[in-house]
Structure 1
Amino acid sequence: MITRAEGAYLGALRAFQEPMLDLLHRRYAPLVVSLLSLVFTPERPTVPVAEAHTEIGDALDQLRAAGHELHADGTRAIPLGSARELCRQWADVGWLKRQIVDGDVEVYQLSAHAVGALEVAGRAGGVRARVSQSRVRTLLDAVERLAQDADPDVLVRMARLDTQIKRLQAELTRLQRTGVVDEVDEDELLEEAENVLHLVRELPADFARVAESIRAMQRDVVAALRQDERPSGDVLREYLERGEQVMTATPEGRAFAGALRLIGDPERIDELSVQLDTVLRHRFTGRLPAPQRAELRDIGRRIEQGVAEVIKAQRQASHVITTQVRNHDPLRDRQVDELLREVMTGLQAWVPGTRRSQEVVPLRRLPVADVAHLRQSTSDLRPPQPPAPLRSWADDADDEPEDGAREWGGPHYAELREHLAARAAGGAADLATAFEAAPARIRRPVDLLGLLEIAHQEGMTETDEVSVVEAVRPDGSRRRFAFGGVRVAVGGESSMEGEGTTDE
């Protein structure tokens, strides 16, 4: 059986294991609280990771330069390491949350435990809460409302309402008769303002807890969907039931539900703004420190921010769960889980044998399998036979090409030279006459060009006449050509500057 002392001790141990009290109990708690309260403000609940590292690094440099690195007893007040390393440690112990916003921006956000720790530290370092008339009246009003809600007796409820009506009617009659409002002492007004601020400081932590409970439900639902152990409909039905219970089963959920009813009524918001303006115009607020006056002025906005944070968490959870349901593929999810487990196993085997700041060679491309030549056909197991050897061919062979290919080739220079020399007979010969007298085999259009080329080499004389000749193609078709008259003197030295042919 556990004794009262043992039960109290175990309860305290569990409380100090929570991240909120753990933050306040650590060695560097003053530094952590100061840096987190400096970077994260009600106007700035989320901070980009790069900006947070820069601001915390600048703050650490300023503290070290001011001589706050060591305590009076010589112990270290500021830990070693960069701002990035400190933020990573705070995220590991649950004080900071990292998330992606706007698609690709990674930001830090205070966890609910960190918000609560900052509120505790702020209250301890600021004006201490006192047992005042305002706080006692708040307690009595809360007890009275609790009793009214718990008592179902109609007659008791009617009697209580009748008493309230009589009291309010008496107050109204007095005001109508005298026209004087009883002034409240400024000390009492200060007590009531401090009580309001005390109640307001509890809201951010409550909102943060509601948002975190929604994110926790999101993680549980996604994990259940990926495990694929139950139908998706049962998992989603349980998620909806838990979502309804969040607003009724926990104190922070009820606080959020009340704030949501308040924020959803524009008249209540306008009424709250008017009431706060009335309070801030009173002369007693001049005795409040500037931070407390700012807190009073920002009550409405802080409520709106807390509600917006919870709604954002609900919207994000719905989006994540909807995406998971639409793209749910159990086989692929299991493959991803196995891949992640392999990666973690590899890291656990790699990290112990590495040094700090050791470079990691990235895998820039996937390895390619080294595969030898694959047989394209398995029907014949014999190796492929080499091709038949080429038939020997002599360039100077006298064999006539098949299909009359030679007849369509270039000029027959040797036969043309012999024919032209025979026509000249040591003198001069007309090129057109010589071409007309040649046999049909060397009277092709290309042979006419060959004769002109030989005449240019041997020496020729141009005349004023126009010569017309008829050439015969190997297929029997005929073409007529006209050119300037040329006489060839075999062995002569005359030269031809140029000649041309035209096709009729």
Structure 2
Amino acid sequence: MLDLLHRRYAPLVVSLLSLVFTPERSTVPVAEAHTEIGDALDQLRAQGYELNADGTRAIPLGSARELCRQWSDVGWLKRQIVDGDIEVYQLSAHAVGALEVAGRAGGTRARVSESRVRTLLDAVEQLAQDSDPDVLVRMSRLDAQIRRLQDELARIQRTGEVDEVDDEVLLEEAENVLHLVRELPADFARVAESIRAMQRDVVTALRQDERPSGDVLREYLERGEQVMNATPEGRAFAGALRLIGDPERIDELSLQLDTVLRHRFTGRLPGQQRTELRDVGRRIEQGVAEVIKAQRQASHVITTQVRNHDPLRDRQVDELLREVMVSFQRWMPTTRRGEGVAPVRRLPVAEIAHLRQSTNDLTPPQPPVPLHVLDDDPDAGLEDGAREWGGPHYAELTEHLSSFAAGADSADLAEVFRGAPEPIRRPVDLLGLLEIAHRNGMAETDQIAFVEAVRPDGSRRRFAFGGVTVRTKEGTDD
């Protein structure tokens, strides 16, 4: 963190990153970050801030894309893939700490106050209570605390008044709260990065295949349990997680913050500090969500690696990449711009079986079996009544249409169907009659026709369709 703050263009980087990354916007798509940073640099150059008073550059050369790449190389930014295919920038834990230090340096100056001393004393007292196993000492402390609270309750009941706290003291306490809150984002970011570091170590160990996968995963689970207890930021996250897991504590925190913000002393706080007080709960929730997201992503990556782990293939890829890097290290120091590049001679060979060199003869070796010739009677072999449930009786329908028209050039199809005998007045025969009408030539009318069809089992079905006039003499298809 201090190394980042001591770099040449650190003031510019801190300003631009504070502008792009906010508590509500912890990750920014790469394209949007390049656009916003490029616009900010253009505005600075247009206002004449490109050079310092001593003639040195205040804004580095290069485009926003190049600057973001440099910041990613030195540790300001981290690039990652979210939602499958979206590449985003995220501040590293060191960058979050650097921005917090810069924010505190530019804001209200930290000072020794009653609130800070009381916080320190309370922490020391709690530490002493937790480290002292003496039961009698603990009981005496609890008795003293109970008597003190009972005396205060009796005084309030007797006088009906609460001692008011001076506004200066309240301001000091509010500043102390904000000071504590500003430490949380960096702690959460460090926990998330420690989880990502564990993920990289586990994937590397699985790829090297030097130990059984079960031992590697067991070590990962043990480190995952220790990360919440071995570091201060891990303990902070564990405490915040217990807070988030208790809805009553969250509601109580919101009510307490509303009470503070309604007090008159908050009118003396700058608007930014009032906003920070109001967003204390939300910032804790965002930090916890970031850590949980890192845990979920690490589990997904490790699970995918275990499922798709191929030691031989991974070893071949590692050897190839190592050879390429060694070749680059030998080639770069001795070459000049525009010089030709010798191609890499060794590449993995595709493992392809023997390819077919000739095609088979598509002609079958012998002719197909002759088709079976049916009897003259098409209904032979059918069960009794099966033909009645079959398709339309085209011959009977054509004969009925000719006899119904009695020499007329056209006839109403609905009337023709109504006049048909029941064996050819089935629902499927209505479709057959429409097909005959389409083949002979028909004309649609504006009327709606209704007919009643009779199934072979005697049930009846009513149909409605657009009126059709059919030619009684057979024509040709269109």
TM-score using structure 2 length: 0.70
Instruction: Give per-residue Cα distances to partners, 1:20-49, cap 9 Å, x unaligned.
Output: 101111111110110111111100000011
| From 61, 85, 94, the counterpart of 1:104 | 85
Runs of 4+ in 1 over 6 A off after TM superposition: 358-363, 366-369
Q: Is 1:338–2:300 an aligned residue pair?
A: no
CA shift for structure 1 position 182: 0.9
| From 136, 139, 159, the counterpart of 2:140 | 159
Q: Partner residue of 2:422?
A: none
Q: Partner residue of 2:266?
A: 285
Q: Partner residue of 2:7?
A: 26
Counterpart of 2:91 in structure 1: which amino acid? L
Q: Partner residue of 1:303?
A: 284
| From 207, 211, 229, the counterpart of 2:210 | 229
Residue 186 to residue 339, structure 1, CA distance change in 2 (3 Å): same
For residues 361 and 184 of structure 1, the distance between their equivalents in structure 2, rounded to whole angstroms, comes to 78
SS in 2 for 1:247: coil
Residue 278 to residue 48, structure 1, CA distance change in 2 (3 Å): same
- After superposition, where does 1:22-421 map in structure 2 within 5 Å? 22-348=3-329, 353=335, 355=337
Counterpart of 2:33 in structure 1: which amino acid? A
Counterpart of 1:249 in structure 2: which amino acid? A
Counterpart of 1:117 in structure 2: which amino acid? A
For residues 55 and 311 of structure 1, the distance between their equivalents in structure 2, rounded to whole angstroms, comes to 29
SS in 1 for 2:228: helix
Residue 362 to residue 87, structure 1, CA distance change in 2 (3 Å): farther
| Structure 1 runs not aligned, ≥5 long | 1-19, 370-375, 377-504
Q: How many residues align?
A: 348
**RMSD between aligned alpha carbons?**
2.3
For residues 78 and 276 of structure 1, the distance between their equivalents in structure 2, rounded to whole angstroms, comes to 41
CA shift for structure 1 position 359: 12
Larger radius of gyration: 1
CA shift for structure 1 position 213: 0.4
Residue 291 to residue 360, structure 1, CA distance change in 2 (3 Å): farther
The alignment-based identity, stated in percent, is: 89
TM-score using structure 1 length: 0.66
For residues 315 and 348 of structure 2, the distance between their equivalents in structure 1, rounded to whole angstroms, comes to 24
SS in 2 for 1:248: coil
For residues 41 and 359 of structure 1, the distance between their equivalents in structure 2, rounded to whole angstroms, comes to 46
- After superposition, where does 1:347-496 map in structure 2 within 5 Å? 347-348=328-329, 353=335, 355=337
SS in 2 for 1:233: helix
Q: Partner residue of 1:419?
A: none
For residues 90 and 250 of structure 1, the distance between their equivalents in structure 2, rounded to whole angstroms, comes to 27
| Structure 2 runs not aligned, ≥5 long | 351-356, 358-478
CA shift for structure 1 position 354: 5.7
